[in-house]
Each structure stands twice: as C-alpha cells, then as structure tokens.
A and B are shown apart, each in its own frame.
Chain A
Amino acid sequence: MRNALTIAGREVRSYFSSPVAYVLLAAFLALAGYFFYALLTAFNQALALYSMMRNPEALQRFNLNEMVVRPLLHNMSVLLIFIIPALTMRLFPEEKRSGTYELLLTSPVRIGEIVAGKFLGGLVLVTLMVALSGIFGFILSRYGNPEIPMMLSGYFGLFLMAVAFLAIGTLISSFTDNVVVAYVGTLFALLVLYTIGWLGETLSGFWGSVVRYLSVTDHFQELTKGVIDTKNLVYFATILIVSLFLTHRSVESVRWR
C-alpha cells in the first residue's frame, strides 16, 4: 500500500507540475460554468414570463432541481466523457515511452500496487474536479432553494460516474504505449457505455433489459432524481472492480511466458 501511495503521489505531482491538471480543470469548469449560466438565465426568463401571466399553477411546477440542477449534472456528465480520457491517456503510455516502465516493473513493487497507484493518482484529480463543480450547487443553495438532498445525490452520481470512467480509462491506457490510441480508445468505450441505452428503447425482452442495465445514463439519471439505490451502486462498483482487475491482468501479462 505504501508503494501505491508513492506511485499515486508521483502521478499527482506530475499532473500539477505540467499544465495537464490546470488545463483539464479549467476547461471542465469553464464549460460547466457556461452551461450553468445558460440554464439559470433560461430559468429566470421563464420564471419572469410566467409570473407576468399570473399563472400560479404553472409557477408551482417551476422547480430549480428539474430545470437547472439535473440538466447541469447531465451536461457535466457529457463533459466527463471527453475530459476523463485526457486524464487517463498518459498513465501507462508515458511510462512505456520514456522507459520508466522498466524501473517500475523491475522494482520490488507488486503489480496491484502499480495499478492502485495509477488509479489513485487519477482519482485525486477526478475528486477535485467534481468537488470544484460543487460551486454551482453552492451558488444555487445560497441564492435559491433547490432540494439539497436531491442535489447531493446527483453530485454523488456524477462522482461515481467519473470514478467508473477513470477506471475504464486506466484499463485502456494499460493496453498501449500511444497516448492517442489511449484517448480515442477510452472515448469510444465511454461513448458506447453512455449511448447503449438508446438501443434499450427499441430492444425488448432479455437483450433489452441487458442493454438497459449496461447503460451508464440510466443509473446516473436515477441518482440525479435523488434515488440512491443499491442496484446503481452495484453497477458502478462492478465497472470499477472489473476494470481494475483487468488492468492488473494487462500489466501482469508482460511477465507471462
């Protein structure tokens, strides 16, 4: 475990000693901030319009969670599809390219520790990213009255999704020594996972339910509704565990005869 933390620490330092961390965080937060502003402006305009029409029934239906928080979380989850691969693409390829992979693999370090270190390094950045995006929730709760538990559940969902994406990205980066291949491979996998639910709407029976279960969007949507169900937690935990297990196998495979 000590070795895993050593590797994670180096990983985090490397993110922050290069522009990588700053660029990724800035891009994510700037775009999310723009979405937030656009959603909030639309909400205010609609509110003003309905108030003018003095329609109490319509006003009742106005809900900050439905009209701002959930769409914002949804938009941020789409951003993650593009940002997370950029964060994971260098984890293994850079080591393989620079020859430092030889240092890692010839040190008395277990492969599990290498994988855990890489993942934890990324996890620090992902956690920071989701935490910083909490500013939008904070602003809303300060100046409006969103349902806080529902919002927290949504942010929790966003975090779980980011962690699952991170694990997938770690796995795919372990396959290659090329950052472009790692980026596009991860982007592809995440997009498939994100959109596979679309098939679920047309398929029925067994395959329909399989596809619906695999869809990351469905599980995420439930969390943004404030429903924290074991089923959803199991889903994200499964992605995490399976991805990291396969990463372990993939790194170990260089030692197979």
Chain B
Amino acid sequence: MIEVTNLSKRYGDVTAVQDVSFTAAPGEILGFLGPNGAGKTTTLRIITGFLPATAGTVRVCGFDVFEQSAEVRRRIGYLPENPPLYNDMTVVPYLRFAGKLHGLGRGELGAALDRVVEACGLSAVTGRLLGHLSKGYRQRVGLAQALLHEPEVLILDEPTNGLDPGQIRDMLAFIRSLGAQRTIMLSTHILSQVLSACHKVVIINDGRVVLEAPLGDLTRDRSLEDVYTQAISGGLAAAEAVV
C-alpha cells in the first residue's frame, strides 16, 4: 500500500508539489489525474525514491521511502514517463539486466522472463533492438521491466502515453488484471482511462490535491468530466462540495 502524508517538493523558489496527502490500499488501482504540469510525475518520482521530498513522508508497504529506501525499492515496480530503455540492447538481455538489478537469481530469472514476455505480448520482438521498437512496444517493454520481480506496488507514469486506441484498451485491461494482487497507481490526464481501470481517483492541480474519492461515489450522479472540471477550476473548496 501507499501512504502519502503532507508531501511537498520545492525546486528553489518553485513549488512543484504542496502538502499532498492520499492513500492507496492493497488491491486498489488508484488513478492519479491532473493537467500537464500539475506535479504528477514529481509525486510519483518521490514515491519511487528517485527524488527526495522537501517535506512530508511517503510510506510504501509500511516502509518510509526516505529512511528505508532500499526496502521500498525492492517492493516497487516503476514505469517512468519515458520507458527507461537502453536503445543499443535487445529485448531479452535488457529484461535480464533489469531483473538482475531487482535481485532475481539465475533460476527465477528465466521463469520471470517467460511470464512477462507472454503477459506483455513481447514474443514477436524478443530479438529486436529497443531503439528500433515502436512507441507501443517500448511502453510494453517498460511495463514488462516493472513487472519482472512481481512487485507489491506498481507505479505507472502515463502508461498509455503514445499508444493507439486498441493498445490503450489492451493496456488498461492488462492493468486491471494485475490489480487484484497489488496496489497500482497510474497517472494520466485522460479521464476515460480512469473510468475503465481505476477504483479510486486522486486529482491534483497546481501541486495540490483537490480531490480524493472512490470512483463509485464520485460518478453516481454526474460525469467524471464534470467532477474533474469543477475540481480543477474551483480548487479545493469546490472539490469538497462535490464530494
């Protein structure tokens, strides 16, 4: 699970994230929504331990991201906004490399590799150079990398970015199928994706959380689009009124 409490991040005078709090329970898929530049990527990078927070705490599976960073990193699978691929490698050696970094032994690695290649539909491209793959395949290899070590928590930064409609549908269905066993947090700025994949929504605007609510309650008598527009334009007060 993920618990974010009063998280702030400042770059010099610029505040990227201000006093952000929310939680994601085990088995929950959390949709992290917000306009471009709202602080989504920054928040995700702090949760994964890539960036330090200026203030506040993040706990993943009960471990503090700052104090027990290694424990957290062992339990997280992370797909950054740009899939972290070495363009001069082919798919299988790359996945082997990522698996080894996550502590998979020689024995486990083979099985894990077969599993993610199958699950992410990569069998047709296993021998291809990563630099030659299409955007859709790059995204899938990135996801495969995040799934290799069967993490308890999956952080996906715009996993459907650059995919075509068919691929988006497949990706979301796949993410839903993963959700039963783990906590998943995915960021996006496309509302329909949240509707089709998530249990819970956190909307962030200008570095602040303007809404945190289960999707069911939220869209009972209005569309998510209305909720989103109101939350983004009206700020905190309006969003609370909505809930």
Contact = CB atoms under 8 A, between A and B. Distances in A.
From DSSP, what is the main secondary structure of chain B's interface residues? loop
Interface string B77-110: 0101111111111000100011011110000000
Contacts of A108: 70, 73-74, 101-103
A253 to B, nearest CB: 10
Interface stretch (B14-22, B47-55, B198-206, B224-232): B47-55
Interface of A: 2-3, 6-7, 10, 13-14, 17-18, 98-110, 254-257
B76 interface: yes
B84 A102 contact: yes
Contacts of A110: 70
Interface of B: 45, 48-54, 66, 69-70, 73-74, 76, 78, 80-89, 93, 97-98, 100-103, 145
B144 to A, nearest CB: 12
13 contacts: A3-B100, A3-B101, A10-B86, A14-B89, A99-B83, A99-B85, A102-B48, A102-B50, A106-B76, A107-B73, A107-B101, A256-B52, A257-B66
Contacts of B53: 257
Nearest to B83: A99
Nearest to B53: A257
A105 B69 CA distance: 10
B85 A106 contact: no
Contact of B80 (A6, A13, A102, A255): A102
Contacts of A104: 101
A231 to B, nearest CB: 40
Given A99-B85, A103-B101, 10 more contacts: A6-B97, A10-B97, A17-B88, A98-B86, A99-B84, A102-B50, A106-B49, A106-B50, A108-B102, A254-B52
Q: Which among A3, A18, A107 has the greatest number of chain B C-beta atoms within 10 A?
A: A107
A254 B98 CA distance: 21
A238 B97 CA distance: 32
A39 B235 CA distance: 78
B149 to A, nearest CB: 9
Contact of A109 (B50, B83, B101): B101
Contact of A103 (B54, B66, B88, B145): B145
Contacts of B88: 14, 17-18
A100 B86 contact: yes
A98 B103 contact: no
A100 to B, nearest CB: 4
Contacts of B76: 106
Contacts of A101: 84
A238 B51 CA distance: 32
A6 B85 contact: no
